[in-house]
Amino acid sequence: MAERACLRGAEGGHENLRACYFELRRDDVPAVIAYEACRRAAEE
């Protein structure tokens, strides 16, 4: 699940970042970690 969220976040754009974040949060990932993971995925 986390890999799919990060792949989506890596596509870039605000909407994909939000989708990545909410997928991780749905899996009980802490907010700060989810945000950082999605932000970093978008940078790569």
- Taking only the tens place, the pLDDT of each residue in 1-44 is 677 777 777 788 888 888 889 989 999 999 999 889 888 888 87
Query: What residue numbers bound the domain in which 34 lies?
Result: 2-43
Q: CA of 31: how far to CAs of 6, 26, 39, in Å?
A: 14, 10, 12
CB distance 39 to 12 below 8 Å: no
What is the model's pLDDT at position 17?
87
Tally of domains within the chain: 1
